[in-house]
Structure 1
């Protein structure tokens, strides 16, 4: 186990929050000069940290604790009726596990997704540099789970392997196939993959009660959230 007291952290200046209007946000980063490893990443994930590119971070906002780390307790998860319909609808997809890498096929799908879904956000416009800096990391154990229909790439779930589970880093998919609910499909597949690998948790990032686009995570029960340093089951939404 790493002596976390030896790590240095840096806090960003306050800036407009991406999730809550009229809120200011700041982020705590692990020192970029520190030696980062999958083992350290696993320890910090249990404390609510996430990965973006080569960086490990967590929200650290003055007077606000709306962003709450969340993870699915895989062994006790049971798909809802809606989930079962989505799994059946996507039964024709084939999934391959590939080491995280840049490819023209993956980037074109990523760019289409950002253009269509996030054209008004800070990820627009997409670029190859952004793709690499955001999704790929030299020190993490990162895979692309690629979902294909008759050889055509439809979705990619960017996933890190931790000591006690998987971390769902990001998912991008064909934005024109709304009826497939590919984002939900990818998450359900990751939960099942954890179960098959004997991994107890799927880390989902941050659950925010006041933000609709982040509250969806409460659909995957039992959902554990990190409150005052202790993981506990979410009881309501």
Structure 2
């Protein structure tokens, strides 16, 4: 992170708390408060490239005692090729539009709540008020964008928040209609982002942490041309032991 050699960044360690992904484990984080730093786009870009992840107004990386299961993942767009399975998902959803969002409405919060109740009932996200949701999803001071999946009647089927980085996008959070499983909306959101990055000629889509033994995380490793951040370097999944 040479860009920050001349400026001190204050890193702190959190207390230990129950892990959200591996039952029985505890988690501890090394984090940076973004509200105390200038030029957050550059900071978020550099920290993301070095294995960090954004949560609300913090960038963090796990520093858990006795566990290193969380591995940062990203898709290398240049070498990405849509598989037959990818193309089937895109074709099946050809009636949907993928577009930038400029309006935070109650329909986003309602869909978010439905998604949490059906897919992540034990998550702390489920307790978010509409004000907290809007602050997180639409009113962040960081440079980000929201993309929506809508049908021909302008019904909202999915939404994804991404940080805009110097080298691409970082997928921060997504939610979608949990009752339309045949559409594979979670996968579709990622495929649409990949296409957006191809259009604007940016090289990477960061997917956050991948955990081998977490069912919730398995989808990330199934994308074409995925890279993992291992020992300070990004390595293609095919060149690792995972």
TM-score range, shorter chain: over 0.9
Cα shift at 1:5: 6.6
User: Match of 2:212?
Assistant: 209
User: Match of 1:117?
Assistant: 119
When the two chains are superposed, the root-mean-square deviation of aligned CA atoms in Å is 1.8
Matched residue SS, 2:20: coil
User: Match of 1:51?
Assistant: 54
Given that residues 146 and 155 in structure 1 are in contact (C-alpha distance below 8 angstroms), is that contact kept between their aligned partners in structure 2?
yes
- Unmatched runs of 5 consecutive residues or more in structure 2: none
Q: TM-score with structure 1 length normalisation?
A: 0.93
User: Match of 1:163?
Assistant: 166
Alignment length, in residue pairs? Answer: 236
Cα shift at 1:133: 4.2
Matched, 1:146 2:170: no
Given that residues 53 and 136 in structure 1 are in contact (C-alpha distance below 8 angstroms), is that contact kept between their aligned partners in structure 2?
no
**Shift >4 Å, 4+ stretches:** none
Q: TM-score with structure 2 length normalisation?
A: 0.91
Q: Give 1:106's match in structure 2, choosing from 89, 105, 108.
A: 108
Q: Give 1:39's match in structure 2, choosing from 39, 42, 48.
A: 42
User: Match of 1:13?
Assistant: 15
Q: Which residues of 2 match residues 186-225 of structure 1 at below 5 A?
A: 186-225=189-228
Given that residues 113 and 126 in structure 2 are in contact (C-alpha distance below 8 angstroms), is that contact kept between their aligned partners in structure 1?
no
In structure 2, relative to structure 1, the CA distance for the partners of 1:75 and 1:56 (3 Å cut) is same
Given that residues 228 and 236 in structure 2 are in contact (C-alpha distance below 8 angstroms), is that contact kept between their aligned partners in structure 1?
yes
- Partners of 1:4 and 1:125 in 2: CA distance: 40
Matched, 1:69 2:72: yes
- Partners of 2:78 and 2:215 in 1: CA distance: 27
